[in-house]
Chains A and B, each alone.
Chain A
Amino acid sequence: MKRLIVDGQLFQTPAWHRGMGKYSVELLRVLQTTNNGWQEISLLLSEGIATKDTRLDEIRQQLPGVDIIILPLQPAELDNIKPTESNRQVVEEYIESTVHKDDDVNYLVLSILQSGTAPAFPNLPNIHTMLLFYDLIPLMFFKTYLNNAVPRLEYASRFDEFFRADTYLVISKTVGNDLAWHTGISKKRIHTIDGGPIRRGSNFKKLSVKKPFILMPTGDDLRKNNRRAIEAFALFNASIKYKYQLVVTSYFTPAEQKQLQDLSEHVLFTGNIEGSQLNFLYRESAALLFPTEYEGLGLPILEAMEFQKPILCSDISVFREISTTAMECFDPFSVTSIVASLHNFESGKVLPDKKQYQAILKKYTWDHTAELVKNAIKNSTQHCSEKKSVVVFCPLPSHSMVGGAAQLLHAELSKWAYVRYRYESRLTKHTQRITYTSYTGSDNYLLGPQSEISLPEGSTALYHLENESTSARTLFTALAVPGIAVLYSKSFKKVWQFMQEMHLIHEDRYAVEQSLSQICEHSDDFLVSIVASQKAIIVFDKNLYTRLETIKKQLKSKVILKCSPVPSAETVYREVLPKNKRFKTIRLVDAPQSSSSDPELSNEAVLTLHNQRDGFQDPLQDEYVTDHELITMFLSSEEIECTTDSYICDILKAQAAELGVVVKGRKAGGKKAKEPANYKVLAQMIDKLIEEVENE
């Protein structure tokens, strides 16, 4: 028998009323009705999450025919943030007691990042696990959403379970790309399943609104861009003698509502409304305004198309995915641009193109989604269950490009290995990304003067080495415990200096290494002991590879040397990348430069390398650029030019090339290489190396 078991803890949270909950209900409904070959669909709920009977009735009503099972699962709470192990046991027990040996079971988790819930993937053979994924908004915009320790802890602690899925079902191609860029999951495991307008029945419940009005379905969230939209509406409305009213849906805190109301008195806040009332608003509205800065799918656009309304929306990737011509698009970060679009609408230039709308709606149907889910399952493979043990030594991902690369390797590494992390850090307040790998597993820690540097028995050490203080303890360990070293820099002199400064090595050891370096390589790059101590070394530079080979011959060492192209996170769907480029060139430079030209008018963006290990800084801001900002910048420029020879540039250049940006002065690798240089390739290389090393 074919069975689908669904973790539906999401339905027990406030997300039931939001897009996520509605999307999931529609998905389950269609999976149940269309013939996907599943004879039975079971929905698992948690006993630990307090749920009113009325909610359970609602779920039963919306999903008739779905078997609802309440299991003694524990919720995620602050004092028990990861009850996933005990929950996994409960789920596995349930599956073992109800599933027959020859049953074909798919296990789907509806949401892994929803706070309060604690879904767990069963670790059983022949059970194919899937994760429905809506967006990575908190991770990408972590400065806004994860600024405080508690939400950050709550969010990041979920990444352990996140990486356990075999297949990731994403709601749009844009989310698919984000997932690959920010978590390093290979594109073969990501499948977009789109979606369709939410069915709300054909009831229309009247709301007292003054016509004509423009509808703005939104939420009380910075990303929804309400402020700029209302500012723009006020300017537009004043210029046409206050002809329109703006109807804003969703609940706002009284303080926020007052602030928005102060921007324009012609705004009506409806609060949370029923489906039939929303139907009424769509039907009666003159147009839809959707100014959001980021969206996972953007259901309101599809809904407005159903009602044949003119659509004014942001020019963002996910909407371009729906159509590039059917909507009037504006720059969500510019009030002037929004005003211009509103004027275009008023002058009759924005009309609903019924033919186009129909074609789009034909593509975005739930039946099509069911078909895509079916294909995704057909094309996916299960994780191997026997895992190796790897201990990764790397700079802390939050503050380092190399750490970031090591973090992106996790998704593929964790497919065949149990990974532990030993991070190295230094004092800084700047954060470039969230270190989510520290929450995968329970044996990860930051190396400091008080922490033991240890390797569990039977595990292989993987050292990510850069020429900075953040590699001192890593190299100190590598010299004594042979493993696999990944070298990002061409010289390691600085690390040796730091090792001496930190009293990890005696000063004579430094002097000996220097002499060795001069004898073996006639340079001052401190590579000899690395070659002498390691079992295998991976480099990203051909010259460095040749130099290591020479040293290897001189030492008669057995070290295995490999040269790999610099890895970059894959782009899953190239077709949704923006075609309009804002900048001609992005220049990566060494020192901060005073720019004489107006950045708004300039066709050039400059990123300065503040500190070798840190990453790049936007000279206009006193902040390091985050991964999301970097990708956005790369996507909005035609070419990238590098005037610094820092090793972290290689990582950036590879990522830029992967995103289709022309890299000036680039010899080979990345896009042009025969083998795509993604993290999967690097992980496979490491996997093979571990086997080779073990066999010797």
Chain B
Amino acid sequence: MRKIKPIIKLLFSFVKKPLRYIDKLIITILSFRQEFNPINSGLSSADVAESTLAQTIEKIQQTDTFNFVSYNQALKPRQIMYYYCTLKDNLRNQLVHLKKKLR
């Protein structure tokens, strides 16, 4: 939360500015996002044979564990992204509402 707070403050300072500024900010953040990409197990289906069963299982278990751990590690940027997107939608709605009121 400590990391997010200054960015939220920044976002709120944009409220008075036109929407394109907010979009610009979002795009900047998007470019920094860290996505979860599952890793390649290094095996091809042709490699899998009865004789190599034990090795294959060991290798894929390593892959599965690695994937699971990195999925959780890549979580924070995803959470922040989700937070921004919701916030952006909220701000957009508020601005539309305000514009209507001003008319």
Q: Are B67 and A504 in contact (CB under 8 A)?
A: yes
Q: Which single member of B36, B56, B69 contacts A516 (CB below 8 Å)?
A: B56
Interface residues of B in 40-57 (CB under 8 A from A): 40-41, 43-46, 48-50, 53-54, 56-57
Q: Are B82 and A508 in contact (CB under 8 A)?
A: no
Query: Is B60 an interface position by the 8 A CB rule?
Result: yes
With A508-B41, A509-B63 as given contacts, are A554 and B53 in contact (CB-CB < 8 Å)? yes
Q: Are B57 and A555 in contact (CB under 8 A)?
A: yes
Q: Are B38 and A506 in contact (CB under 8 A)?
A: yes
Chain B residues positioned under 8 Å from A382 (CB to CB):
none
Query: Is B37 an interface position by the 8 A CB rule?
Result: yes
State A512–B36 Cα separation when bound (angstroms).
21
Residue-wise, chain A 550-585 has the 8 Å CB interface mask toward B (1 for contact) of 000011100000000000000000000000000000
Q: Say how far B43's CB is from chain A's closest CB, in angstroms.
A: 5
In this complex, what residue of B is CB-closest to A473?
B71
Q: Are A452 and B72 in contact (CB under 8 A)?
A: yes
Query: Is A449 an interface position by the 8 A CB rule?
Result: yes
Q: Say how far B62's CB is from chain A's closest CB, in angstroms.
A: 10
Q: Are A450 and B38 in contact (CB under 8 A)?
A: no
Q: Are A506 and B41 in contact (CB under 8 A)?
A: yes
In this complex, what residue of B is CB-closest to A448?
B82
Query: Is A49 an interface position by the 8 A CB rule?
Result: no
With A519-B53, A532-B61, A555-B53 as given contacts, are A514 and B67 in contact (CB-CB < 8 Å)? no
Residue-wise, chain A 393-425 has the 8 Å CB interface mask toward B (1 for contact) of 000000000000000000000000000000000
Interface residues of A in 478-536 (CB under 8 A from B): 479-481, 503-506, 508-509, 511-516, 519-520, 528-529, 532-533
Q: Which single member of B38, B57, B78 contacts A505 (CB below 8 Å)?
A: B38
State A480–B66 Cα separation when bound (angstroms).
8
Q: Which single member of A480, A506, A511, A529 contacts B68 (CB below 8 Å)?
A: A480
State A520–B49 Cα separation when bound (angstroms).
10
State A516–B56 Cα separation when bound (angstroms).
9
Q: Say how far A555's CB is from chain B's closest CB, in angstroms.
A: 6
In this complex, what residue of A is CB-closest to B39?
A506
Chain A residues positioned under 8 Å from B68 (CB to CB):
453, 476-477, 479-481
Query: Is A454 an interface position by the 8 A CB rule?
Result: yes
Chain B residues positioned under 8 Å from A520 (CB to CB):
53
State A509–B67 Cα separation when bound (angstroms).
11
State A493–B38 Cα separation when bound (angstroms).
19
Q: Are A509 and B82 in contact (CB under 8 A)?
A: no
Query: Is B23 an interface position by the 8 A CB rule?
Result: no
Q: Are A450 and B75 in contact (CB under 8 A)?
A: yes
Q: Are B41 and A515 in contact (CB under 8 A)?
A: no
Q: Are B53 and A479 in contact (CB under 8 A)?
A: no
State A359–B48 Cα separation when bound (angstroms).
77
With A511-B44, A555-B57 as given contacts, are A519 and B50 in contact (CB-CB < 8 Å)? yes
Q: Say how far A302's CB is from chain B's closest CB, in angstroms.
A: 56
Q: Are A508 and B44 in contact (CB under 8 A)?
A: yes
Chain A residues positioned under 8 Å from B43 (CB to CB):
508, 512
Q: Which single member of A452, A481, A532 contacts B57 (CB below 8 Å)?
A: A532
Chain A residues positioned under 8 Å from B72 (CB to CB):
452-454
Query: Is B13 an interface position by the 8 A CB rule?
Result: no
Q: Are B45 and A515 in contact (CB under 8 A)?
A: yes
Q: Are B79 and A450 in contact (CB under 8 A)?
A: yes
Query: Is B89 an interface position by the 8 A CB rule?
Result: no
With A505-B38, A506-B39, A506-B40 as given contacts, are A512 and B48 in contact (CB-CB < 8 Å)? yes
Q: Say how far A500's CB is from chain B's closest CB, in angstroms.
A: 9
Query: Is B28 an interface position by the 8 A CB rule?
Result: no
Query: Is B31 an interface position by the 8 A CB rule?
Result: no
Q: Are A519 and B49 in contact (CB under 8 A)?
A: yes
Chain B residues positioned under 8 Å from A516 (CB to CB):
48, 53, 56-57
Chain B residues positioned under 8 Å from A519 (CB to CB):
48-50, 53
State A476–B68 Cα separation when bound (angstroms).
7
Chain B residues positioned under 8 Å from A528 (CB to CB):
57
State A481–B60 Cα separation when bound (angstroms).
13
Q: Are A480 and B64 in contact (CB under 8 A)?
A: yes
Q: Which single member of A449, A454, A511 contacts B45 (CB below 8 Å)?
A: A511
Q: Say how far B20's CB is from chain A's closest CB, in angstroms.
A: 27
Interface residues of A in 641-659 (CB under 8 A from B): none
Q: Which single member of B39, B40, B48 contacts A515 (CB below 8 Å)?
A: B48
Q: Say how far B101's CB is from chain A's closest CB, in angstroms.
A: 28
Q: Say how far B103's CB is from chain A's closest CB, in angstroms.
A: 33
Residue-wise, chain B 13-36 has the 8 Å CB interface mask toward A (1 for contact) of 000000000000000000000001
Q: Say how far A40's CB is from chain B's closest CB, in angstroms.
A: 51
Q: Which single member of B44, B67, B79 contacts A476 (CB below 8 Å)?
A: B67
Chain B residues positioned under 8 Å from A509 (CB to CB):
38, 41, 60, 63-64
Q: Are B60 and A476 in contact (CB under 8 A)?
A: no
Beyond contacts A453-B68, A512-B43, A528-B57: 13 other A-B pairs, Cβ-Cβ < 8 A, are A450-B75, A450-B82, A476-B68, A476-B71, A480-B69, A503-B37, A506-B38, A506-B63, A508-B41, A508-B44, A516-B56, A516-B57, A533-B64
Chain A residues with a Cβ under 8 A of chain B:
449-454, 476-477, 479-481, 503-506, 508-509, 511-516, 519-520, 528-529, 532-533, 554-556
Chain B residues with a Cβ under 8 A of chain A:
36-41, 43-46, 48-50, 53-54, 56-57, 60-61, 63-65, 67-69, 71-72, 75, 78-79, 82
Interchain residue pairs with CB less than 8 A apart (5): A506-B40, A509-B63, A511-B45, A515-B45, A555-B53
List of 5 A-B pairs having minimum Cβ-Cβ separation, nearest first: A480-B68, A479-B64, A515-B48, A515-B45, A511-B45
